[in-house]
Amino acid sequence: MTGSERTRRRAALAAILILVVFPASGRTQRGGEAGPDELYRHREDLSQAARAADLWAKQSDFEAAWKLGRVCYWLGTHDAVEHRRAALDRGVLAGERAVRLDDGKPEGHFWLAANMGRLADAFGIVQGLKYRGRIREELERVRILAPAWQGGLADAALGEWYATVPRLLGGSRQLAESHLRRALTIDAANTFALYTLGHLLAVEGRKDEARALLARVVDAPFDPEWAAEDRDLKQQSIAALLQLGK
C-alpha cells in the first residue's frame, strides 16, 4: 500500500467515525427516514410538518422544544381551521418548555409569543385578554437578549402587536410604526416588517408609501430559511396592492 493510499484510507475511516460519533441530528432518522429538520423544510406539505412536530415532541432538549413551537405555529396558521387551536395550544406549551430549559436564548420566547399571538387573534376576547400582556413581555425579552435576531423579527412582531391591539388596551399606531421601522433598519429586506408596515400605512390612508413597501415584498428574493413564509407574504402583498389600485 502506498503512502497516498494509506492517507486516503485514514481519511475515509475518520469520516466514518465522525458520522457514527456525531450523527447529523435532525436530518435523518434510523432506517433512512427524514429527520424533523428536513421534514420542516417541506412544511407546505402539512403532513410533513405534522410529522416533524411529532418527532420533535419525542425529544426533551431546548432545540427540539423551540422547533416544536415553531412548527406548531405554522400548523396553527395553515392547517384546517378545526385543527388550528390545538396546534397553537401545543405550540404555547412547547414555547413554555423552551423558556424553562434556556431562558437566555431568544427562540423560546419568540415562538411562545407567536403562538399566543395567534390564539389571541383568532379565538376571541378571552384569549386576547389572557395573553395580551404576556405576548409583549416575551417579545421585549427577545429584544433584550438579541435585538438583531432574525433581522429584527421581535421588533416587527411588536409592531404588529401595537397595530392590532385596541388603543384602550395598549395599542398604538405610532409605536407600531416605530417598531416596524426599527426592524427595517436592522434588515431592510425583512418581508414581515415590510408587509406589516405597508398594511398599517394603507389603513392610515398613506397609500403611496404603502404601495412602495408592498412592492418591495413582491420583488424581494426568497430567503431560503423563510421561503414558505415569503410566499405567503408575497401573495398577501399582491392582494393588498390590487386592493389599493396598483
Tens digit of pLDDT for each residue in 123-180? 666 565 677 889 999 999 999 999 999 999 999 999 999 999 989 889 999 999 999 9
Confidence of residue 30 (pLDDT cuts 50, 70, 90): low
pLDDT of residue 33: 75
Distance between CA atoms of residues 51 and 54, nearest Å:
5
Pick the closest to residue 74 from 97, 101, 56 (CA basis). Answer: 56
Domains of the chain with CATH codes = 33-146 (1.25.40.10), 147-246 (1.25.40)
The residues near 141 (Cβ < 8 Å, ≥ 6 apart) are 106, 109
Using one digit for the tens of pLDDT, what is the confidence trace for 45-62?
999 999 999 999 999 999
Confidence of residue 103 (pLDDT cuts 50, 70, 90): very high
Confidence of residue 19 (pLDDT cuts 50, 70, 90): very low
In degrees, rounded to 5, the angle at the alpha carbon of residue 45 between the alpha carbons of residues 39 and 46 is 90
Q: What string of H, E and C letters represents the secondary structure of the chain? A: CCHHHHHHHHHHHHHHHHHHHCCCCCCECHHHCECHHHHHHCCCCHHHHHHHHHHHHCCCCHHHHHHHHHHHHHHHHHCCHHHHHHHHHHHHHHHHHHHHHCCCCHHHHHHHHHHHHHHHHHCHHHHHHHHHHHHHHHHHHHHHHCCCHHHCHHHHHHHHHHHHCCHHHCCCHHHHHHHHHHHHHHCCCCHHHHHHHHHHHHHCCCHHHHHHHHHHHHHCCCCHHHHHHHHHHHHHHHHHHHHHCC
Percent of the chain clearing pLDDT 90 (strictly above): 78
CA-to-CA separations, 154 to 64, 158, 159, 181, 222, in angstroms, rounded:
21, 6, 8, 12, 20
The cell for 103 is: 431562558
Using one digit for the tens of pLDDT, what is the confidence trace for 202-234?
999 999 999 999 999 999 999 999 999 999 999
